[in-house]
Structure 1
Amino acid sequence: MTRREWCRRYLFFLAGLFINSFGVSFITKAALGTSPISSVPYTLSLGFAPTLGMFTLYMSIVLILVQMILLRRDFPRQYLLQIPVSFLFSWFIDMTMELLGFLTPDVYAAKVVCLLLGCGILGFGVFMEMAAGVVMLPGECFVNAISRTFHTDFGRTKVAFDTSITVAAAIIGLILYRELAGVREGTIVAAVLVGMIARRLNCTIGPRVNLLLTGKKYRSITN
């Protein structure tokens, strides 16, 4: 990888990270729940002083520590990049939550529109991070560590991880607030739509983005 390509990929990743955080905040502002990976931090932020971004950082640190325990000597050095990325992502979340402070939809239809727009934004951000191919967020790295350690399928493990986190958030909400405070229908919608949007973008504009990042013509893996 040339220095120019390296710079392009990391700049593209950082832009995707910001868009990702913007999507998370947009979905959260819809007040219909949030994305599965943010459900526990969001639920905790509803009753305690630390912000959504700070709770996201705490959760990221826990996930990184568990990865180190699981992988031990096999923990890739590149995975250490999760630490600065986690700090940046958490800061982006708090910044975009503040930027969207004006967004408080009251009508259910407006909340649904806000949710769908947020899913689209988050899906685009996830696609950008995947296309950059340089760093993964702690959630994806954690799933990868589980898959490598227990020899499980990454896709199925990801579904199980998202489901477990959502259930944990629901339990926390019931214990702390006696209601499903951070988990609602929007959480399910986000879990389904975001991945679909990211995959669709990968199929449609992925080749052009690859050309932009590498300067090489895209070749389908089926060829």
Structure 2
Amino acid sequence: MFLRRAEKAAENNGAAAIIFEMNTYGGRLDTAEEITSVLNHATIPTYTFINSNAGSAGSLIALATQHIYMAPVSAIGAAAPVLPTGEDLPATEREKTISYWSALIRSTAIRNKHNPDIGEAFMNKDKEVKIGDRVIHPKGTPLTLNAQEATEQINGKPVLADGVADSIVDLTQKAGLKGNIVSLDPSGFEQLAFWITALAPLLLLGGIIGAYLEFKIPGASLPGIIS
């Protein structure tokens, strides 16, 4: 896994921090859980730079880092679980998914000193978020914050993000991080593994269709090869 390799490289080379640049509308929850596990076990400071989207599962990953900075035009949140088609989960499955992930999100947020109510409200539309006497998010929809809302100071603390940054260089300056910036990119094998994982449901579907056609049309060669 690329992130695990990057984390070990940073730790072994005495890096001051790991900065995770993010621009995603979301993805699979199980993949997000793997990434949050790696980040939660990092032994050096971790940062997320949201440039420009941390939607859905991306918001959960951001909560697994100790510091969050956002580009001036950016957003984080809206992590309600849905089917791959974009439709809502059946009621019972939705309740189970939200119950489990809300607990995981809260524990991740607490570990990294973020407001756990914010994290839960990203996923659970029935979660009200109140800071002091002020309701910053009523029930009814999953929470989404823009950069200005996430960095607003209430009772001397930001709602979520440490600050707004124009770039990773700007982030390092505002966070007081010293040293050279070293970028790591996925290897060819890691990119291939990513796409195989991402396309696995389609490959499985192709195999099922191929096997079905082979069964229905004996002697058809192409479907048999696909399956």
Same fold (TM over 0.5): no
Q: Whose helix fraction is larger, Structure 1's or Structure 2's?
A: 1
Question: Normalising by the residue count of structure 1, what TM-score does the alignment of the two structures yield?
Answer: 0.28
Which has the greater radius of gyration?
2
Question: Normalising by the residue count of structure 2, what TM-score does the alignment of the two structures yield?
Answer: 0.27
- Structure with higher RCO (Cα < 8 A, 6+ apart): 1
